Structure 1
């Protein structure tokens, strides 16, 4: 684990629990369940990093390397609505309106629309904010305490009756909780690549306008309808 990775979480977490006795703290799983249960809407900031292990010709003592970093603002409303607004280093929006998933790329002047489904379920935003009952889709496994956070592993449940047999593209999913709020999401795929999302400045149960999750492509934009 790189020093950069550790510093990123510490800078966003920025605190540890004031209660020091472990037995007096709520577990990470209970914090996560309460957050899902009690947060109807929320907004805040995020930093998302794509990490990978060093290649054979690179120094092996550096740990995971940051190959891409984006940051922006998010808004969500349960169930199944969110805006994942990337602002740096480029402008891009991922919007879930409850029925479809929309990707708007300002530089390309392009909007793609696809039905909500597996594509939605695999997004970091949906894992953090989409479910109203995590236990219906995941087994929650209590993890260790690291960097001021109680970590929870999410193991997708197998549904033998599901028509879509494709699993999520991640072999490991973990959420770091502190003071009742998610502070970090770590996703690992089968090749060892890692997506790390840290969130900050979360405001819970904010009033949102009715059209907050409505997106209309600007005139002249390319529109793609995908299945």
Structure 2
């Protein structure tokens, strides 16, 4: 379940549905979506350390991990978590590799329809149709430099029920994602590096010889 939650959050960061919506008058959701789009469109690369906390449906913390993520438009993503469940996930926008050192296993698969239909290509792709995919609200706050947006998927089969993004001085500082089982994944970011050059080589995995390599659909 914990590994699934990590991959689900990775998919939310990585993927986006392309949903055609009818034209409508400007709404509060459209205004909030435009504000959020304006922030995210300035992200060419994003790198940060993070602490990830998983809270179950009874409000109990069941896991805490630390890690590193790197994102680069278009489509590049790197995700690394440490003990107690070390895991590496990378994607070039077409396929995703998942390396589990404790299982001595690498899974390589295409970004299938389920992953492609998850909302929010927030850090690695286009974000100009957020209002078509989500009901977006921005919380009024009196804290200078702090902004908070909540995204509720319009599609009934989304991998999550709500996603809250917090920004400080224009930098993404926290994500809170609640799923359909009322589990909460919290990512708190630190040491954020925004728009620093990142080589494509940073999104390739080196894993030991002898690991099992499973190719799913490739």
Moved more, 147-156 or 200-209: 147-156
Structure-2 change in CA distance of 1:198 and 1:38 (3 Å): same
Cα separation, 2, equivalents of 1:74 and 1:134? 23
Partner residue of 1:140 out of 108, 111, 136: 136
- Matched residue SS, 1:119: helix
How far apart, in 2, do the equivalents of 1:108 and 1:80 lie? 27
Name the SS of the counterpart of 2:158 in structure 1: coil
Corresponding residue number in structure 2 for 1:154: 151
Residues 32 and 182 of structure 1 are in contact (CA less than 8 Å); yes or no, is this contact kept in structure 2?
no
Question: Are the counterparts in 2 of residues 76 and 129 from structure 1 also a CA contact under 8 Å?
Answer: yes
TM-score, normalised relative to structure 1: 0.70
Which structure 2 residues correspond to residues 212-223 of structure 1 after superposition, within 5 A? 212-223=202-213
- Tell me if the contact between 1:28 and 1:177 (Cα under 8 Å) persists in the aligned partners: no
State the shift of 1:146 in Å: 9.1
Q: Could you state the TM-score of these two structures normalised by the residue count of structure 2?
A: 0.72
Q: CA RMSD in A?
A: 2.8
Change over 3 Å in CA distance of 1:134–1:155 after alignment to 2: farther
What are structure 1's unaligned runs of at least 5 residues?
A: 1-26, 55-63, 159-165
Q: How many residues align?
A: 183
- Report the 3-state secondary structure (helix = DSSP H, G, I; strand = E; otherwise coil) of the residue aligned with 2:198: coil
Displacement after TM superposition at 1:156 (Å): 2.9
Aligned residue number for residue 200 of structure 2: 210
TM-superposed CA distance for 1:173, in Å, is 1.4
Counterpart residue number, 1:198: 188
For the residue of structure 2 that corresponds to 1:35, the secondary structure is helix
